[in-house]
Amino acid sequence: MREFLRKLFFPPQCSACRTLLDWNPPGTSAAQPVALCRDCLIRWEAEKTEACAICGCRVSNCRCMPLALQKAKCTGFCKLVYYSPRKSDPVQNRLIYYIKRNADRQTPRFLADELVPSVYSGLQEIGVNRDEVADFVLVTYLPRGGRSRLQYGTDQAKELARTLSERLGAPMRCLIRRRRGADREQKRLSPERRLENAKHSFLAARDADCNGKVVLLVDDVVTTGASMAACTRILRKLGASYVLGVAVASDEVNRERI
78 binding Zn ion? (CB under 5 A)? no
231 binding Zn ion? (CB under 5 A)? no
**For the chain, what's the residue count?**
258
Beta carbon nearer to Zn ion, 39 or 209: 39
Instruction: Name which of residues 7 to 46 contact Zn ion (CB under 5 A).
Output: 14, 16-17, 37, 40
Stretch that binds Zn ion, among 48-56, 67-75, 94-102, 225-233 (CB under 5 A): 48-56
How many CB atoms are located within 10 Å of the residue 221 CB?
A: 23
Beta carbon nearer to Zn ion, 98 or 202: 98
How many CB atoms are located within 10 Å of the residue 132 CB?
A: 13
Q: Which of 33, 43, 48, 54 binds Zn ion (CB under 5 A)?
A: 54
Beta carbon nearer to Zn ion, 203 or 253: 253
Q: Which of 21, 34, 62, 210 binds Zn ion (CB under 5 A)?
A: 62
Q: Give me the residues paired with residue 178 across strands.
A: 202
Q: How far is the CB of 125 from Zn ion (least distance, A)?
A: 13
Q: Which of 52, 168, 222, 248 binds Zn ion (CB under 5 A)?
A: 52
Applying CB under 5 A, the residues found at the interface with Zn ion are 14, 16-17, 37, 40, 52, 54-55, 62, 64
